[in-house]
Structure 1
Amino acid sequence: MGDQVSVWMDAPPAEVWDLVSDVTRIGEFSPETFEARWTRGSAGPEVGAYFKGHVKRNGVGPTYWSLCKVTQCEVEEVFEFAVGTDDLNVNNWGYRLEPKDGGTLVTEYFRLGSNLPTRVYWLVLGPLRRRTNRNGMRTTLERMKAVVEA
């Protein structure tokens, strides 16, 4: 249970990597996560690093902080993180970078955790969240594209 969106960017993977792996810049791009900061002694992207994202779901309503942990970090290839707690993985989000046609094909994706509460939530609100997530991923990638191609 998940989804993905891809956007080609006229920039080398190294430049795109700098955007997708710097969580402190997510507020410039995401329509829902308006800020993030490294936590628990983490200072940058590496497997096992922690950060918190400050979220406003659908851009409205109350805000909340989500704990995230980097689960994959291969420079200029993939940056992925789990959202939840150390004991409960709600979902994973990530970016895959692929050199293509002199630029980079960037794919943002999410994958739900396998726990029962997440699956019930997805069963009830899945169609709406899938559309919201797809729109959000496209917005995020298009905003990154505008910055990296400027």
Structure 2
Amino acid sequence: MSDTRILSHQESVIVEASAAFLYDLLSDITRTGEWSPVCASCWWDDEAEAGRVGAWFTGRNQLPHRTWETRSEVVTAERGREFAWVVGGSFVRWGFSFDAAETGTRVTESWDFLPDGIAMFEEKFGEDAHAQITDRTQQALDGIPKTLAAIKRIAEVTIGSGEQALA
């Protein structure tokens, strides 16, 4: 496709917690439903591989008009630095990166609609592919700030309850 639609996006939030604490929180994909406005739940396809590069997990996504499941592969797992996965193995890359900030950690959520994903949408949806891609892109643009706000709230409430999140 040759238009100029946004097919990647990232936003950040400062969280008063350590990068290691935030990595441990966000790489526990079984908790994703706590902060995601779309992904209601996730589970590891093989618990023995949980959290490692190459591990696969399944996510159940819910919107008012539909529910669907996706399988994703962990592509980056560097504690305290980055946790990322690719939906369908090559369609959409999601991730969280962690950088030191004056009052804690900058958490950046990123989203990239990859060429294989665009090709899959074109094949699956034909003439409706553009509308479908636009819809998925808007969901990501709307969801990322909500996700980051929820992560900040959950992490900082956890800190307030006594966990050593800045250690």
**TM-score, length-scaled by structure 1:** 0.87
Shift of 1:128: 4.1
Shift of 1:62: 2.3
The equivalent position to 2:17 in structure 1, one of 11, 33, 44, is: 11
Q: How does 1:37-48 map to 2 (within 5 A)?
A: 37-48=43-54
Equivalent residue for 2:28, pick from 22, 29, 32 = 22
Q: Which structure's residues are more often strand, by fraction?
A: 1
- CA shift, 1:43, in A, is 4.5
Q: Which runs of 5+ in 1 are unaligned?
A: none
1:60 aligns with 2:67: no
Residue identity matched to 2:32:
I
Structure 1 or 2, whichever has the larger Rg, is 2
Bigger shift: residues 45-54 or 10-19: 10-19
Distance 1:33 1:101 in 2: 31
Aligned residues: 145
After TM superposition, list the pairs within 5 Å mapping 1:1-150 onto structure 2. 1-56=7-62, 59-85=63-89, 89-115=90-116, 116-118=119-121, 123-150=130-157
Q: Is the 8 A contact 2:121 2:132 kept in 1?
A: no
Kindly report the root-mean-square deviation, in angstroms, between the aligned alpha carbons of the 2 structures: 1.9
Q: 1:52 to 1:100 in 2, by over 3 A?
A: same
Q: Distance in 1 between matches of 2:145 and 2:100?
A: 19
Which whole-Å deviations, capped at 9, do the CAs of 1:99-123 have from their partners, x for residues lacking one?
Answer: 1113010010111121223467774
Alignment gaps of 5+ in structure 2: 1-6, 158-167
- Counterparts of 1:26 and 1:48 in 2: how far apart (Å)? 19
- What is the CA distance between 1:46 and its match in structure 2? 1.1
SS of corresponding position for 1:117:
helix
Cα gap change, 1:41 to 1:149, in 2 (>3 Å)? closer
Could you say if the C-alpha distance between residues 105 and 128 of structure 1 is closer, same or farther in structure 2, counting changes exceeding 3 Å?
same
Instruction: Indicate the SS of the match to 1:8.
Output: strand
Alpha-carbon distance change, 106 to 122 in structure 1, aligned in 2, over 3 angstroms: farther
Matched AA of 2:84 = E
